[in-house]
Amino acid sequence: MPGRAVRARERSSSTGSHGASGREVAGVTRAMTGRWSTSAAPAVGHAVPLTRLGAGWEPPSVPEAVRVTQLPPPHLASEPLEFSWVRETQRDIGTLVHAWLLRLAEARQLPAASELEKERALILAQLERLGMPPEERPRAAGVILAALRQTLSDDRGRWILSSAHRGAFSEWELSGVTAGGLRNVRIDRSFIDESGLRWVIDYKTSSHEGGDLEGFLAQEVERYRPQLAGYVELAQALGEEPVRAALYFPLLGAFREVN
């Protein structure tokens, strides 16, 4: 193990610095095992004078303990985790959508939506590496490609991914205290726009079938409002720019600001 190797080297170096030869060290070692003894007598150095303390000496008083302000415990999710194949599949889809949006944001020039079909084989291989069952992969790859095509076909989506922004970050990791708790967050996309506003944007790979799309989006805004408020608070501490937050839904091509 590396740690043991380092300690072993330190002991070897320390022993050599006292002038003991390899033969003497070996002799002492074997004497400890009871098989050998060494005739080498330890060197006697000069006597060290001893100084006695005075009769009235008292130890110095110990200073008061330094008070340490404890950081509040991290925020814990109140909802119990749910494990199922459906949830695992949706999580893997979300993971790859985020990964591909990161890749697109780092590109010098965004491709056309029609160019994405050639990436299907790669996406299927990525789903396999994530451990998705074979029967789930074709549908999942179709959902991922649909989300990417929708984003690249949407003016707002291309604006979010544009490389022309100042101070742009993807998967931006921040830590700090917000709402009375220590939080470690990862912001999907953040940048300073042409008017000097910093945006913090969270991708949501939710889908919606049926009517009342606006009602569904309004519910999502309320659901994630506390999360985005924490993002804004952390981002505001890092710069002078005013900060705004928003949700972007790649599958729906929908952008909603969260005040």
Average pLDDT of the chain is 81
What's the order of all strands across the beta sheet hosting 166-178?
A: 166-178, 181-192, 198-203, 243-249, 254-258
Phi, psi torsion values for 252, nearest 5 degrees = -105, -10
**Does residue 100 lie within any of the structural domains?**
yes
Asked whether residue 228 carries a pLDDT value surpassing 80, the answer given is yes
Query: What's the CA gap between 91 and 130, in Å, rounded?
Result: 10
Asked whether residue 58 carries a pLDDT value surpassing 50, the answer given is yes
**Does residue 70 lie within any of the structural domains?**
no
The residue-averaged pLDDT of 141-168 equals 96
| pLDDT at residue 195 in the model | 95
What element of type H or E holds 184? strand 181-192
Beta strands 254-258 and 243-249, pairing class? antiparallel
Tokens of 97: 């959508």
**Does residue 20 lie within any of the structural domains?**
no
Asked whether residue 149 carries a pLDDT value surpassing 90, the answer given is yes
Q: Report how far apart, in Å, the C-alpha atoms of 156 and of each of 149, 153, 256 are.
A: 13, 9, 11
Asked whether residue 101 carries a pLDDT value surpassing 70, the answer given is yes
Query: Is 151 in contact with 101 (CB distance < 8 Å)?
Result: yes
Q: Residue 50's pLDDT band (boundaries 50, 70, 90)?
A: confident
**Does residue 182 lie within any of the structural domains?**
yes
**Does residue 8 lie within any of the structural domains?**
no
Q: Residue 86's pLDDT band (boundaries 50, 70, 90)?
A: low
**pLDDT single digits (tens) 21-32:** 444 434 433 434
More confident residue, 13 or 56: 56
Domain count, the chain: 1
Q: Residue 111's pLDDT band (boundaries 50, 70, 90)?
A: very high
pTM of the model: 0.67
What CATH number corresponds to the domain at position 122? Answer: 3.90.320.10
Query: What's the CA gap between 155 and 74, in Å, rounded?
Result: 37
| pLDDT at residue 231 in the model | 94
Asked whether residue 75 carries a pLDDT value surpassing 90, the answer given is no
CA dihedral 160, 165, 169, 170 (to 10 degrees): 30
Query: What's the CA gap between 199 and 170, in Å, rounded?
Result: 12
**Does residue 186 lie within any of the structural domains?**
yes
Query: What's the CA gap between 190 and 196, in Å, rounded?
Result: 12
The partner residues of 178 in beta bridges, in order of sequence, read 181
Query: What's the CA gap between 223 and 234, in Å, rounded?
Result: 19
Residue span of the structural domain in which 208 resides: 85-258
Query: Is 218 in contact with 173 (CB distance < 8 Å)?
Result: no
Q: Residue 68's pLDDT band (boundaries 50, 70, 90)?
A: low
**Does residue 157 lie within any of the structural domains?**
yes
**Does residue 6 lie within any of the structural domains?**
no
| pLDDT at residue 234 in the model | 94
Query: What's the CA gap between 151 and 105, in Å, rounded?
Result: 12
Give the three-state DSSP class for 72.
coil
Query: What's the CA gap between 189 and 172, in Å, rounded?
Result: 7
What angle (nearest 5°) sits at the alpha carbon of residue 88, between those of residues 113 and 178? 85
Query: What's the CA gap between 187 and 41, in Å, rounded?
Result: 68
Asked whether residue 246 carries a pLDDT value surpassing 90, the answer given is yes
Tokens of 255: 């952008």
| pLDDT at residue 26 in the model | 40
